[in-house]
Amino acid sequence: MNPRKASERRQQMKSTADAEADARVKADETALTASRRTSLSLAAAHRAFWRHPSPWMIGGTLLVLSTWRVVRGDWRMSDAWAPLILLALFPIIEWLIHVFVLHSKPRKVAGLSLDTLLARKHREHHADPRDVALVYIPWKTLIWVIIGYNTIAVLAFPRVGQALTFMTAVAWTGLLYEWSHYLIHSDYQPRSRAYKAIWRNHRLHHYKNEHYWFTVTTTGSADRLMGTYPDPSMVRTSPTAKSLHSTT
């Protein structure tokens, strides 16, 4: 076969496979949510986002840290390196937390059952992705996360100002994660090309196969690096996407 025609045929087959994958994901979601789906504007989504505890907890932390950082002063160029590293590594951090914390299996160690609140709530989230309350980080866990990372940062950095810059950056990324995850699971319809990609990526994780597409705020970044960004048409629809760790 002519190389050009062969290339065109491969491209046509790929486009067909992508279209079929899109149709399957859309059909799965429609069947699951038909009775509850309503239209939602971005402004309405923003108002609804703030009706839950975690945005206020993270937002309040961000306000306190930002104010403290401005009052503290002592600005230096070295303040920038930690936030820049955080920004570069955030997709990988997000992937690791999703895989090893949120998808961790209940287990017994020395006769004790270990099953974190985060993992339990995430299993509930997979069982009903349309339950908005389950989209957010559990507030009981978030309290300890906020206390823990701020305490470690103050002790780890050589200057309080440098620690505050990093702590503020962490709060910003936390709020971005919560907003992105909420918006994906809300009734707001994606419009921009970038958001459509993120929206589709996360729906593939929930409705196609829970073993792939782990990133939330980006698409094809850490998943490509970790080998969890396959061609959807080559992945079977998982029977356990809604019941994590089930055998059926």
pLDDT tens-digit series, residues 175-192: 999 999 999 999 998 888
**C-alpha distances in Å from residue 160, one per residue of 21, 99, 149, 234:** 50, 33, 14, 50
Give the pLDDT mean for 149-157: 94
Given pLDDT bands bounded at 50, 70 and 90, which one contains residue 2? low
Answer yes or no: pTM beyond 0.75.
Answer: yes
Q: According to the model, what pLDDT value does residue 124 have?
A: 96
Mean residue pLDDT of the chain comes to: 88
Given pLDDT bands bounded at 50, 70 and 90, which one contains residue 219? confident
The answer to whether the Cα torsion of 91, 94, 99, 103 is positive or negative is: negative
Question: Cα–Cα distance between 2 and 46 in angstroms, integer?
Answer: 53
Position 86 pLDDT exceeds 60: yes
